[in-house]
């Protein structure tokens, strides 16, 4: 008996933090309750009440993990919510529970008893790093009818320590709550769903909403396995039978940006998940100088760093200068110095709605700059690391220039003198031959 108690305690210890080695047993949740009342003008208002709750997985009659909280005991394995968060650490999940109103519509759910009424709750699980979103409906059967024609104005009271035994009726999941796409790329917006029974009329739709406009991209409504109504494209119909409603975006354009909404409707339930698509195009970076820029002493050159065809607008261009020899030293190496005399051109709007900009400065040919390395660093949200382009300045000394010039002029003068001397000697030789009497 003592050994069993020790093993049970060890089991609870290993399962602390919500996760066991095999599967999740419970999750702390925030239950956003609602108190709907009429204000002094006779209009309904809703007061949100945040209450402590537990999402507990088990069997009917299980003791609550936290007796002081409202317990939503999820039973039944026909549709297991835990399967949709496999591989995710429990501490990375954010759980929220809410009441769900059917607007007074009472529909017999296939798995319920004849005399039962249903109370509905929505459960949303979000990854703290935005890797997935799962939303589901919990059905709590009751033998008491709703206390009004419209349940959202007459919610049954839930006590602080009450245990609500529920089952999962519908679940939706997306693994792409936020998507970043480059221009002309192909992306799949993930959306899957599952019901706890077959044969219901299910409507699946995709909408795109951007700047106040909402457009229907795809719609599928099945009355039975033999009849269906379809509108639009982007979803593989053969995959819908197994609950895969992912939308294929074949060619990303700038106009593709926006909020994509995957929705599933099964009377009396309706739920949706958002997928935010952001277009990010990395800049193409080029500088106007080659690996080595040759300058003469006193010469001035304007040097450009161009960032072309990027999106969105914000980009940062910084010019640095440093001694390339000192940069290889591990200890005591001077840090690159940011150039202060850099000017930016105005942004250029390209035909494809991307942007371009240039950062330039005037470089003086002087011995203090000779051998220095100048680097252009471009940062943009589409880049994991900044793009860097650099060149090294080589400045010729004035003395060497005058030396080569003097030598060149001297050689040219000597060649001219030599040419004239040869002509003179040749002419004199011909004259002496002509004066001979023989």
Question: DSSP strand E in 101-212: where?
Answer: 117-127, 133-142, 163-174, 178-181, 187-189, 192-195, 202-210
151 & 234 share domain: yes
Report the pLDDT value the prediction gives residue 249, as an integer from 0 to 100. 92
Closest CA to 381 of 306, 303, 310, 330: 310
Verify that 139 and 273 share a domain, yes or no: yes
Residue 90 covered by a domain: yes
The helix or strand, by DSSP H or E, that contains position 424, with its residue range, turns out to be helix 398-434
**Angle in degrees, CA 2, 6, 11, rounded to 5:** 145
**Which of 228, 261, 279 is the endpoint of a domain?**
279
Shared-domain flag, residues 74 and 191? yes
CA nearest 168: which of 135, 200, 129, 146?
135
Residue 38: predicted pLDDT: 83
Looking at the fold, whether 388 and 337 belong to one and the same domain comes out as yes
Q: What is the pLDDT of residue 218?
A: 96
Whether residue 315 sits in one domain with residue 275: no
315 domain residue, yes or no? yes
- 432 assigned to some structural domain: no
* Residue 434 pLDDT: 55
Interstrand relation of 26-38 and 44-57 (parallel, antiparallel or unpaired): antiparallel
- For residue 307, give the nearest of 234, 387, 217 by alpha carbon: 387
What is the spatial distance between Cα 108 and Cα 200, in angstroms, rounded to a whole number? 12
- Please name the helix (run of DSSP H) or strand (run of DSSP E) that holds residue 292, with its range, or none: strand 292-296
Question: Number of folded domains in the chain?
Answer: 2
302/240 Cα distance (integer angstroms): 60
On whether residue 429 sits in a domain, the answer given is no
Same domain for 208 and 241, yes or no, is: yes
177 DSSP 8-state letter: S
Write out the residue range of the structural domain in which residue 189 sits: 25-279
Query: For residue 430, with 0-12 CB atoms within 10 Å meaning exposed, 13-18 middle and 19 or more buried, which class applies?
Result: exposed
Q: Same structural domain for residues 55 and 169? A: yes
Read off the pTM.
0.77
Q: What integer pLDDT is reported at residue 416 of this predicted model? A: 79
Are both 365 and 248 inside the same structural domain? Answer: no
Q: Smallest Cα–Cα separation from 153: which of 43, 44, 42, 270? A: 44
Q: What is the CATH number of the domain that holds 334?
A: 2.60.40.10
pLDDT tens digit at each of 438 positions of the chain: 344 433 334 334 434 434 443 478 999 999 999 888 888 888 888 889 999 999 999 999 999 999 999 999 999 878 999 999 999 999 999 999 999 988 877 788 887 777 678 899 999 999 999 999 999 999 999 887 776 555 556 788 899 999 999 999 999 999 999 999 999 999 999 999 999 988 789 999 999 998 888 999 999 998 754 556 889 999 999 999 899 999 999 889 998 999 999 999 999 999 999 999 999 999 999 999 989 999 988 889 999 999 999 999 999 999 999 987 665 555 556 788 999 999 999 999 999 899 999 999 999 988 888 899 999 999 999 999 999 999 999 998 765 555 566 667 777 777 877 777 777 666 666 655 555 554
Query: Which of 230, 252, 279 is the last residue before a domain boundary?
Result: 279
- On whether both 257 and 119 belong to a single domain, the answer is yes
In this predicted structure, what is the pLDDT of residue 180? 94
Same domain, 231 and 303: no
The answer to whether residue 338 is domain-embedded is yes
Q: Are 192 and 295 part of one and the same domain? A: no
Query: In terms of Cα–Cα distance, which of 51, 52, 65 is closest to 15?
Result: 65
Give the CA distances from residue 155 to residues 145, 151, 165, 262, in Å, rounded to whole numbers and listed in that order. 11, 6, 17, 29
In a domain, 407, yes or no: no
pLDDT recorded at residue 419: 75
- What are the tokens at 396? 């010729």
Q: Taking the CB of residue 84, how many other CB atoms lie within 10 A of it?
A: 20
Quick one: 129 and 211 in the same domain?
yes
412 inside domain: no
CA 343 to chain centre: 32
Domain annotation covers residue 141:
yes
């Amino acid at each position: 008996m003592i050994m069993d108690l020790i093993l049970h305690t060890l089991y609870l210890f290993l399962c602390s933090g919500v996760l066991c080695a095999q599967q999740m047993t419970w999750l702390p949740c925030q239950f956003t309750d609602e108190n709907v009342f009429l204000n002094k003008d006779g209009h309904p208002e809703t007061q949100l009440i945040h209450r402590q709750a537990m999402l507990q997985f088990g069997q009917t009659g299980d003791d609550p993990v936290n007796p002081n909280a409202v317990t939503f005991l999820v039973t039944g394995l026909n549709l297991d919510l835990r399967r949709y968060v496999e591989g995710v650490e429990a501490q990375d999940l954010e759980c929220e529970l809410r009441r769900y109103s059917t607007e007074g519509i009472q529909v017999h759910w296939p798995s319920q008893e004849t005399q039962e009424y249903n109370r509905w709750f929505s459960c949303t699980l979000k990854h703290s790093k935005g890797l997935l979103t799962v939303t589901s409906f919990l059905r709590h059967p009751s033998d008491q009818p709703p206390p009004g024609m419209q349940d959202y104005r007459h919610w049954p009271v839930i006590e602080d320590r009450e245990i609500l035994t529920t089952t999962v009726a519908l679940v939706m999941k997306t693994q792409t709550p936020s998507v970043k796409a480059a221009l002309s790329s192909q992306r799949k917006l993930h959306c899957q769903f599952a019901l706890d029974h077959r044969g219901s009329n299910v409507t699946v739709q995709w909408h795109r909403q951007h700047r106040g406009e909402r457009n229907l991209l795809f719609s599928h409504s099945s009355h039975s396995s033999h009849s269906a109504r379809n509108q639009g494209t982007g979803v593989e119909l053969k995959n819908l039978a197994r609950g895969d409603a992912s939308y294929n975006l074949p060619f990303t354009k700038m106009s593709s940006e926006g909020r994509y909404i995957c929705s599933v409707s099964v009377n009396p339930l309706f739920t949706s998940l958002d997928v935010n698509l952001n277009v990010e195009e990395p800049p193409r970076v080029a500088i106007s100088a080659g690996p080595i820029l040759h300058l003469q002493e006193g010469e001035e050159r304007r040097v450009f760093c161009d960032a072309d065809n990027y999106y969105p607008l914000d980009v940062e261009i910084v010019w640095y200068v440093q001694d390339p020899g000192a940069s290889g030293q591990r200890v005591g190496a001077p840090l690159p110095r940011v150039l202060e005399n850099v000017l930016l051109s105005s942004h250029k709007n390209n035909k494809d709605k991307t942007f371009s900009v240039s950062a330039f400065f005037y470089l003086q040919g002087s011995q203090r700059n000779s051998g220095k390395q100048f680097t252009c660093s471009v940062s943009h949200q589409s880049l994991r690391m900044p793009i860097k382009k650099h060149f090294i300045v080589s400045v010729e000394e004035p003395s060497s220039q005058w030396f080569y010039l003097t030598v060149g002029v001297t050689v040219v003068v000597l060649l001219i003198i030599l040419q004239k001397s040869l002509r003179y000697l040749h002419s004199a030789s011909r004259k002496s031959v002509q004066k001979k009497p023989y």
